[in-house]
Chain A
């Protein structure tokens, strides 16, 4: 079902396919079988046209743990991209060298285009402001693993829902499930994109846009936090003011239910202080750790067998 498949957009997948991936991921998480050689002799190419720490390293670690190898396009300033080579030529070359190509790019649609150019499968590792399908698979897996389901849950996405691709992508992913309600908590200029809201409406998902989290805490199962990005504001004073109203305080966490969870795609800055880490609800590091297993399961399903 997944073999040789491109991973470009979370909406390219059905709920059933995602649940299949979750079950496969459990096997990796619980180390049910020896998978240290399953991708032996396979090569993964990493082509990151934008900075990344977690995504890049977890893809690389996943491949190494499965017995495969990686080649890396490396720093852009030292690669031929700096000489003006286009994406098409760059990925065409990687298509010869490797069995799967992982791409992060600032241009939207870059991975779909790369998939047109290449024979080998393309994995979108984050692009522009809309798509980050593997992060969404990780976020959905964390929710599914914690609650045993995604249906029926109440979820709040907080922060920059307009520009943060992890948030946009997650909302699209949630539209594949039967969630109870989604709260979109953000300042007005950072509200969810129209196409995201259209998708939620078309999927008959109840959602509410609001500026404040206050009063919602108790009703939430999942609080998904993203950073309010400084570069989105031209007035630094306005940024400072807005930023403070989307910081998750200890008071907010204390009002959340004991079984609720806080997720964050990381890196975090001020919006989620280290003081929150001690609470039971703080699951973002576990989420990042499980991300490794999700990517292992994903690589195995695309390349294995």
Chain B
């Protein structure tokens, strides 16, 4: 028939974003990072554990009529490094962006150390976490040195 397996399952979206190459089992984390609940009215398709040449199995998220801003893209890169964002216009991929964790995550993730200066409400300070590893993602607070990795990052970002 010439159709890919994914296309058999889910129709193409006319406009919006497809987030591809999400590590298996993490599509719902990405869903939550985007603050989606399903009640916004977007057509959303979540595919989990589909075949992937690159990852063996992968997850995929299609959201109609929704863009992903740069801050959201940074956060997604922390739970789904190497995911790709496909911007869809008129059923076509008009832009494809590969996500990589940034060198420093600024103002998006709080340090987990309750006695870190970056958690002081008195100070004019923006939390800054250095990405010290990308596989798996590990962060280190540039102020106090506290590290965060794997499940800790996920728990922090998706509030599990």
Question: Which residues of A come within 8 Å of B, CB atoms?
Answer: 9, 84, 86-88, 105-110, 112-113, 128, 130-131, 195
Contact = CB atoms under 8 A, between A and B. Distances in A.
Given A87-B117, A113-B117, A108 B144 contact: yes
B150 interface: no
B141 A109 contact: yes
27 contacts: A9-B145, A86-B120, A86-B123, A86-B124, A87-B122, A87-B123, A88-B123, A106-B115, A107-B116, A107-B120, A108-B116, A108-B117, A108-B144, A108-B146, A109-B116, A109-B141, A109-B142, A109-B144, A109-B145, A112-B142, A112-B143, A113-B117, A113-B143, A128-B144, A130-B144, A195-B145, A195-B147
A131 B113 CA distance: 14
A110 B117 CA distance: 6
A265 B116 CA distance: 24
Interface residues on B, range: 10 to 19
B46 interface: no
Contacts of A110: 117
Contact of B123 (A112, A113, A130): A113
Nearest to B122: A86
B10 interface: no
Interface in B95-152: 111, 113, 115-118, 120, 122-125, 141-147
B116 to A, nearest CB: 5
Contacts of A9: 145
A110 B147 CA distance: 17
A87 B147 CA distance: 24
B111 to A, nearest CB: 8
Interface centre among B115, B142, B147 (most CB of A within 10 A): B115
* Nearest 6 Cβ contacts at the A-B interface: A109-B143, A108-B144, A109-B144, A86-B122, A109-B117, A107-B117
B149 to A, nearest CB: 11
A109 B114 CA distance: 11
B124 to A, nearest CB: 6
Contacts of A112: 117, 142-144
Given A107-B116, A108-B145, A195-B147, 15 more contacts: A84-B122, A86-B123, A87-B120, A88-B124, A88-B125, A107-B120, A109-B111, A109-B141, A109-B145, A112-B117, A112-B142, A112-B144, A113-B117, A113-B123, A195-B145
A88 B146 CA distance: 21
Given A87-B117, A113-B117, A128-B115, A108 B143 contact: yes
A118 to B, nearest CB: 14
Interface in B25-52: none
Nearest to B147: A195
A211 to B, nearest CB: 26
A16 B54 CA distance: 45
Nearest to B125: A113
